[in-house]
Chain A
Amino acid sequence: MTTKAIDPKLIDVTLSEHDGYPEELARLDTDEALWDACGVASTDFPQSLWIPENEWRERADYNDKNGLWAINYLDRFTNQNPTHECTCHALRAVAEAAWNRQRRFAIGPPVAGQRLPASTAPQSASVWFSCLSIYAEANPRERGGANVQQVCRIACERGFLPDKIQPREYGFAHLLQGTCGKGGINQSSGAWPAVAKFPDGWRETAKHFRPLEVIYPRSREQFVCCLLHGLAIGIGRKGHSVPICRIVYDGGRMLFEYPDSYDVIRYDSQPYYSGSYSILSFTTPDDWSKPAG
């Protein structure tokens, strides 16, 4: 069974101050606002994803055994410390999981400080997105954060730029530093990039990395069903935005696991489905070995 003892210190962690999702911005992330922000990408929760509650635990066990969680389609942590980029770090995880899930090559789960061998395997099409390529537009003032609707809208409209660090050499024409924060072995760190200073012609590369269909879990049941299907869910709560990627059972208790943008795995005991989103489909390349053509 999907059961393990979780360190209580990792459950329901509340940061001492917001790191990019302040209350005044969070208040604006209503279901309606998110739906409008993603425009034509907004999609109703498909009934085909529905799994009856009495099958959840067995399904979770199957996912554990066969590596079918969203976390299995992620091959890196990012580290935003000490910036206010959290909504974009959560979004990049949801997006990368959607991209790799479509390819169906399991490359995770990520290990902090490590480049995973699967990331560089010939079958891998793993692309690492720049969090800053979204955040620089969402909040040109750099500090203060952004809300979920802002970053989702930008991603759906014009897409991500790839990070300057990639697991494989794809020959991208346009790249951008991943974060102004700490970054790491799998994420580049650099100076604040005003959108006007993005590399010339950057939209030509970004258009290849856009969410096509976004859904919004609006109940505990829909939230769990998305996760059981291997979809990551971006959420914002308590001053911080994170990507929920797996369900684990701590005894009889269901916990929602996320790779936090501080090189650590943490857990929520509640499904925060208000203001949450998941990427159901993502642009797909003409050739997985040439993600931007």
Chain B
Amino acid sequence: MRPLARVLSIRSIVAAAALTLAVVTSADAQKLGVARSYPSAANLAVGALVSDQPGGWLVFAVPSMLPAVSEPINAGAGVVWEGKPGKYLVLYFPPGQQFPQPEVRVVVLGVATPPEEPDEPTDPPEEPTDKVTQVTYVYEKDETAVPREVAKALGDINAKYLGVVASEFEDDTTAGGGSVPAQYRVALAEARKAGLPALIVQAGAKVVKVVKAPTTEAQVMEALR
């Protein structure tokens, strides 16, 4: 994952007992689990709220009341969003409510500004490469089950490397409409060419490695390098 670009200024906040507004920094964002970098464009501002427990979040631009581009962070106990500088209405739904009663905050975002201080040094990215996006074990159930070490390795990759989708795919599986799911078309075609079962490592639509019939955790992890 690319590191977050810069510290962003937020002109005014409305703080509350249950909620605290957090400035998103590169280091903070890494810790809070953002899926991508913010802002996506230089003219956009970024806001983030965190709570003390996971809940539901909705963010709307004011006065248009159109939903802002947002994603949960901090394992659900927070939200990050971006949009044009201006007012935003943030609704937080605490857990355990029989009837939803959101806490409401109005947040005013300023323009993104360059950092006043250098970013804290960050650890090197954990991704095995900056290209691998997908690792798929493709198999035919009547021929083989997913080896347990492969299953473990796929789970470990998902837990450790944000941005890499590691999963299994049985070759008869379809999407709801009955076709091969778009995200597995390349992997399935490549695996059929190589012979099932096979582990297909991709960078986007490009196949970067094929491992025939892997059975060990080491084979899967090695394929990432």
Closest to A215 in B: B141
- B 142-178 binary contact with A (CB < 8 Å = 1; else 0): 1111101001101100110010011111101111110
Give the contacts of B80-112 with A (CB-CB under 8 A).
95-96, 98
Q: A212–B76 Cα gap in the complex (Å)?
A: 31
Interface flag for A140 (CB, 8 Å)? no
Q: A46-B145, A106-B159, A185-B96 are in contact. Are A288 and B165 (CB under 8 A)?
A: yes
Q: A27–B182 Cα gap in the complex (Å)?
A: 42
Verify A48–B181 contact, CB threshold 8 A: no
Q: A210–B159 Cα gap in the complex (Å)?
A: 26
Interface flag for B195 (CB, 8 Å)? no
Interface flag for B75 (CB, 8 Å)? yes
Verify B96–A48 contact, CB threshold 8 A: no
Q: A117-B54, A284-B173 are in contact. Are A62 and B148 (CB under 8 A)?
A: yes
Verify B33–A122 contact, CB threshold 8 A: yes
Verify A68–B162 contact, CB threshold 8 A: no
Verify A115–B76 contact, CB threshold 8 A: yes
Interface flag for A198 (CB, 8 Å)? no
What is the CB-to-nearest-CB distance from A61 to chain B, in angstroms, rounded to a whole number? 11
Q: A129–B97 Cα gap in the complex (Å)?
A: 19
Q: A217–B156 Cα gap in the complex (Å)?
A: 29
Interface flag for A39 (CB, 8 Å)? no
Interface flag for B47 (CB, 8 Å)? no
Q: A215–B96 Cα gap in the complex (Å)?
A: 36
What is the CB-to-nearest-CB distance from B49 to chain A, in angstroms, rounded to a whole number? 15
Give the contacts of B3-40 with A (CB-CB under 8 A).
33-35
Count contacts on B: residues with CB < 8 A to the other chain: 44
Of A3-11, A17-25, A97-105, A143-151, the stretch lying at the interface with chain B is A97-105
Verify B158–A59 contact, CB threshold 8 A: no
Tally of contacts, chain A with chain B, CB under 8 A:
123
Interface flag for B60 (CB, 8 Å)? no
Q: A31–B56 Cα gap in the complex (Å)?
A: 43
Q: Which residues of B contact A139 (CB under 8 A)?
A: none
Q: A121–B154 Cα gap in the complex (Å)?
A: 16
What is the CB-to-nearest-CB distance from B130 to chain A, in angstroms, rounded to a whole number? 17
Q: A104-B166, A104-B167 are in contact. Are A122 and B35 (CB under 8 A)?
A: yes
Interface flag for A207 (CB, 8 Å)? yes
Verify B151–A230 contact, CB threshold 8 A: yes
Cβ-defined partner of A122 (8 Å) among B55, B96, B98, B162: B162
What is the CB-to-nearest-CB distance from B75 to chain A, in angstroms, rounded to a whole number? 3
Closest to B71 in A: A122
Q: A189–B159 Cα gap in the complex (Å)?
A: 32
Verify B158–A285 contact, CB threshold 8 A: no
Give 24 pairs: A residue, B residue, CB < 8 Å, sorted on A: A48-B144, A102-B167, A102-B173, A104-B166, A105-B155, A117-B54, A120-B75, A121-B75, A123-B158, A123-B159, A167-B76, A185-B95, A209-B176, A212-B172, A213-B172, A229-B145, A281-B141, A282-B173, A283-B173, A284-B174, A285-B183, A286-B175, A286-B181, A288-B165
Binding site for A on B (CB under 8 A): 33-35, 54-56, 71-72, 75-77, 95-96, 98, 141-146, 148, 151-152, 154-155, 158-159, 162, 165-170, 172-177, 181-184
Binding site for B on A (CB under 8 A): 46-49, 59, 62-63, 66-68, 102-106, 113-115, 117-123, 159, 167-169, 185, 189, 207-210, 212-213, 229-230, 280-288, 292-293
4 nearest A-B residue pairs (beta carbon): A117-B75, A120-B76, A208-B176, A286-B182
